[in-house]
């Protein structure tokens, strides 16, 4: 794309939105910023799109929203009148422009005669997934950029099962979106007229109530909750996002009455003013919650990201200091509790299956298989877990028990088909209550799990490489690791290389290969002689490349040391190749 021509096309458009026109004028003379805003179209990928808010073809604005929605509308049109009648459910988070973008999407779809259901106020992403299923909608949209910085927003598309669109359907939608030549020419009817025709309907309280009822059904041990509900002290922060009301209502329904919400972070704030990043994966996001916890001697601290699909958990360690658990550790605790309690109650399905991603800890597989259950790996991205659940429903081969990924995403009840921080908060509180009933902290519970299944430790490093130059560096780095794979790391030989782009696993010592039965993805995973592993994966939604590490040691110190050595070794190779 010629960014100068694209910029001129926008700058000379007679009907350009007034606010965007002013923003565009403010960019005059700033060629680097203009190039970044116009050098390409904002990519609509398998997970939708995400980008900085502002004018330009490579930005989130009402025209790129209309373009995406026009593509989705054409996709739905092609699937017939019944699909149009079933329609699309739309939710949005607390970010800048989220309500406006949600309504632009609704207007674009409804202009095609497609029924739309728009939440009257911000709602969690998992509740949108639930709404798609409850309303028997044909698709869903969430306006969110999850835990990205405040200048970002995004657009995620869901299929009729409430899961993010799997690759085949996503590719079909992408082809329609890419076929729209001029986003400035997409026409929409007024909101007022579309509401008069009944094509835009507002939804809210009824879906909320049904969602809470489903959450109640996830309680594993009701007698435990009756006994311990008043004793467990919880501090919760929604980090200025959408989880405030549903998590509080859910905890109350579970019988937890000693819940304190971090006041400074309780209300929606698109600037996320109290945190450098609204991401519970980053320990700094817990700073205020920890202060509250120390004042109240809380047993459990919970923090959800803005669209409430991820949750972080912090608990006191042996020294009495609050530590934030990794996503893998929280997942291990939830999984172990669900399995052991269901087994004790005689409710564990014989054909039960646990789903995790390829970069999630191997402790999940160990816990599942030691309890006679099957575990499956999926590609990174919860849509693949949702797709697998749908497959189980169709085949009857397995009963879904639990799904999770290392990046703080969990799913317990399949009435939602995306990661659900509201579910995870409630079950985490129940697990903490269980250990408290035994006179233990949740951290001591984690050590008990490690003692039983192995001292697994995992780590993550991310490199942010922005703009055109950054994108080229990421492509080059993956190509180098693919064409010249390392033969050792941390003094350990590489035993196998898994290339998810070619779907081939190569065993280096045996000089043998086998097929990987997963969709293609630009990911490389290396397994070492002692079972340790590391993985390279470009982010699908941010200008980042991520590096994942996993080890298993004899004890906590041993596993931490192994992880540190592996991380150092791999990252030195990365920086060497980046130059």
> DSSP of 134-188, one letter per residue?
HTT-SEEEEE--TTS-TTEEEEEEE-TTSSBPPHHHHHHHHHHHHT-S-GGG---
Write out 66-110 in H/E/C secondary structure.
HHHHHHHHHHHHHCCHHHHHHCEEEEECCCCCHHHHHHHHHHHHH
Q: Which residue has the higher pLDDT, 481 or 381?
A: 481
In whole angstroms, give the CA distance from residue 335 to residue 357: 14
Total Cβ atoms within 10 A of residue 532: 24
Q: What is the arithmetic mean of pLDDT over 442-464? A: 96
pLDDT digits (tens, 9 = 90+) for 357-369: 999 999 999 999 9
Confidence band, pLDDT 50/70/90 cuts, at residue 46: confident
In whole angstroms, give the CA distance from residue 492 to residue 552: 14
266's tokens: 């309780």
Of the candidates 146, 375, 407, 521, the residue annotated as catalytic is: 146
Inform me whether the pLDDT recorded for 203 exceeds 70. yes
227's tokens: 């006994």
- Mean of pLDDT over the chain: 96
In whole angstroms, give the CA distance from residue 97 to residue 507: 50
Percentage of the chain modeled with pLDDT above 90: 93
In whole angstroms, give the CA distance from residue 143 to residue 273: 20
CB 92 within 8 A of CB 142: yes
pLDDT at 471: 87
Confidence band, pLDDT 50/70/90 cuts, at residue 523: very high
Q: What is the arithmetic mean of pLDDT over 248-260? A: 98
Q: What is the arithmetic mean of pLDDT over 537-545? A: 82
pLDDT digits (tens, 9 = 90+) for 8-39: 999 999 999 999 999 999 999 999 999 999 99
CB 236 within 8 A of CB 260: yes
Inform me whether the pLDDT recorded for 466 exceeds 90. no
In whole angstroms, give the CA distance from residue 419 to residue 417: 7
Q: Which of 200, 130, 129 is nearest to 165 (CA)?
A: 129
In whole angstroms, give the CA distance from residue 302 to residue 295: 16
Confidence band, pLDDT 50/70/90 cuts, at residue 541: low
In whole angstroms, give the CA distance from residue 438 to residue 388: 36
- The b-or-e profile of 252-287 (16+ CB within 10 A means b, else e) is eebbbeebbbbeebeebbbebebbebbbbbeeebbe
> Whole-structure pTM over 0.75, yes or no?
yes
- The b-or-e profile of 545-566 (16+ CB within 10 A means b, else e) is bbbbbbbbbeeeeebeebbebb
Q: What is the arithmetic mean of pLDDT over 331-346? A: 97
CB 330 within 8 A of CB 458: no
The verdict on whether 276 is a catalytic residue reads: no
Helix (H) or strand (E) holding 116: strand 116-119
How far, in Å, are 236, 365, 419 from residue 311 at the CA level? Answer: 10, 21, 10
């Amino acid at each position: 794309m010629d960014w100068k021509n694209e910029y001129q096309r926008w700058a000379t458009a007679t009907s350009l939105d007034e606010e965007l026109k002013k923003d565009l004028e403010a960019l005059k003379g700033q060629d680097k910023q203009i190039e970044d805003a116009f050098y390409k179209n904002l990519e609509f990928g398998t997970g939708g799109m995400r980008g900085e808010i502002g004018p330009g073809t490579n930005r989130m604005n009402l025209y790129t929203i209309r373009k995406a929605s026009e593509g989705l509308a054409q996709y739905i049109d092609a699937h017939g009148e019944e699909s149009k009648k079933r329609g699309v459910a739309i939710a949005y988070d607390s970010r800048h422009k989220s309500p406006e973008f949600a309504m632009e999407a609704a207007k674009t779809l409804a202009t095609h005669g497609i029924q739309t259901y728009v939440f009257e106020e911000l709602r969690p992403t998992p509740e949108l997934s639930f709404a798609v299923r409850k309303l028997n909608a044909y698709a869903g949209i969430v306006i969110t950029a999850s835990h990205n910085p405040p200048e970002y927003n995004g657009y995620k598309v869901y299929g009729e099962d409430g899961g993010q669109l799997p690759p085949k359907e996503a590719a079909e939608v992408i082809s329609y979106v890419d076929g729209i030549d001029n986003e400035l020419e997409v026409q929409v009817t007024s909101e007022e007229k579309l509401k008069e025709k009944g094509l835009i309907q507002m939804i809210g309280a009824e879906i909320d109530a049904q969602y809470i009822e489903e959450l109640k059904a996830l309680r594993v041990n009701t007698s435990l909750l009756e006994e311990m509900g008043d004793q467990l002290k919880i501090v919760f922060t929604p980090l200025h996002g959408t989880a405030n009301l549903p998590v509080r209502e859910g905890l109350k329904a579970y019988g937890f009455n000693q819940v304190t919400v971090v006041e400074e972070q309780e209300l929606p704030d698109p600037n996320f003013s109290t945190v450098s990043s609204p991401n519970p994966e980053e320990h700094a996001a817990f700073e205020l919650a920890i202060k509250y916890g120390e004042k109240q001697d809380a047993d459990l601290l919970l923090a959800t990201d803005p669209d409430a699909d991820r949750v972080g958990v912090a608990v006191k360690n042996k020294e009495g200091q609050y530590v934030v658990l990794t996503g893998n550790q929280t997942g291990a605790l939830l999984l172990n509790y669900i399995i052991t309690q269901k087994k004790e109650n005689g409710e564990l399905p014989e054909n039960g299956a646990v789903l995790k991603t390829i970069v999630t800890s191997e402790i999940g597989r160990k816990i599942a298989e030691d309890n006679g259950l099957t575990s499956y790996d999926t590609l990174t991205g919860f849509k693949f877990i949702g797709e697998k659940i749908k497959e189980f429903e169709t085949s009857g081969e397995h009963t879904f028990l639990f799904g999770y990924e290392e990046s703080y995403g969990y799913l317990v009840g399949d009435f939602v088909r995306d990661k659900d921080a509201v579910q995870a908060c409630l079950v985490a509180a129940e697990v903490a209550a269980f250990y408290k009933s035994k006179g233990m902290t949740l951290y001591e519970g984690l050590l008990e799990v490690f003692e039983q299944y192995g001292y697994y430790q995992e780590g993550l490093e991310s490199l942010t490489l922005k703009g055109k130059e950054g994108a080229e560096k990421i492509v080059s780095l993956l190509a180098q690791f693919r064409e010249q794979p390392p033969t050792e790391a941390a003094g350990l030989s590489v035993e196998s290389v898994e290339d998810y782009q070619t779907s081939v696993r190569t065993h280096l010592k045996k000089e043998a290969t086998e097929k990987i039965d997963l969709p293609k993805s630009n990911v490389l995973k290396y397994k070492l002689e002692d079972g340790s592993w590391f993985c390279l994966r470009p982010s699908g939604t941010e200008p980042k490349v991520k590096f994942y590490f996993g080890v298993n040691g004899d004890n906590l110190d041993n596993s931490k040391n192994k992880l540190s050595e592996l991380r150092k070794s791999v990252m030195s190779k990365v920086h060497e190749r980046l130059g």
